[in-house]
Amino acid sequence: MDGHVTMALPRPGPALKTVLLLIGAIGIFEAFLANYVPGGIDLVRYFVCRPGPALLREPWRLLTAGLLTSPESVGHLIFTIIGLYFLSPDLERRWGAFRFARFLALSVVVGFLFSGLVDAVAPPSAPAGFHPQVMYGAGAAITATAVAWSKMNAHLQVRLFFFLPITGRQLLWVTIGFCVLGLFYPNGIPEGVAAPFGGVVVGLLFGGTPSVVRAIYLRIKLLFLRRTVGSAAVRPLVKPPVPRSRGKAPPLRVVPGGLEEELGKRRPPKDKRYLN
């Protein structure tokens, strides 16, 4: 659709409200633990994601790490909240709370898996961003929402950073450009340099109505149904009933009786006055 996004702040849905409140509350609490409680940073590290074999031994960290922000700077917390809030209300309104929450969780998980894969294949001489000691943050979810929204609103115009007007199609390429730019500045991405690319993949495959993945699933299901119906047309589903063989029927005969025979046996009365 064509047009412009109004400057009125969109109202977040229940899923987005829950996610933003969790990130805000956890971000403030982990900053308090890390800066004012002795040994509190160790508790925060219990929820981060670590590349290597620990990534598969403790899969629940793939979700909890997406709710964490840097306890050293409030900028990461603010950027995460604004990045999720910017385009997410429109997606949740179209998809519903359950699909939107599932989309965010999937993007975070895939983002951390991408970072873990890059850590495994990158040479040891690569920058530290390619081999993060810990991974946390919702950067993949922010990237996925931007890509999904861009696919569904290719001609709709928004204001990037609240002042630069661009279309949805342009926003898609700007988002991918920021992901590539992160390869040159890897140390500023706590999720790992590959996590945003995981968000791009999730946004492309699971964004839209129907999404690419769902469209492929529906085509496979339709092909399966067509094959099933085709085989059913050749082979009848219900066997026709087999006629029962009857034994030799007895010969037909006329059974005497009836009204005419009864009337014929009656004798006429002597007094004819009662005949009428």
95-120 per-position pLDDT tens digit: 999 999 999 999 999 999 999 999 99
pTM, two decimals, is 0.76
Mean pLDDT of the chain: 83
Predicted local distance difference test score (pLDDT) of residue 6? 47
The helix or strand, by DSSP H or E, that contains position 250, with its residue range, turns out to be none
Nearest Cα to Cα of residue 176 among 212, 143, 142:
143
**pLDDT, greater one: 60 or 233:** 60
Predicted local distance difference test score (pLDDT) of residue 233? 57
Cα–Cα dist 218/86, whole Å: 31
pLDDT at 227 over 50: yes
Cα–Cα dist 9/225, whole Å: 46
The structural architecture, per CATH, of the domain 3-220 is Up-down Bundle (1.20)
Predicted local distance difference test score (pLDDT) of residue 198? 95
25-78 per-position pLDDT tens digit: 999 999 999 889 888 888 888 899 988 887 778 888 999 999 999 988 899 999
Segments of the chain assigned E as strands: 3-4, 156-160, 164-167
106-158 per-position pLDDT tens digit: 999 999 999 999 999 988 888 877 888 889 999 999 999 999 999 998 888 77
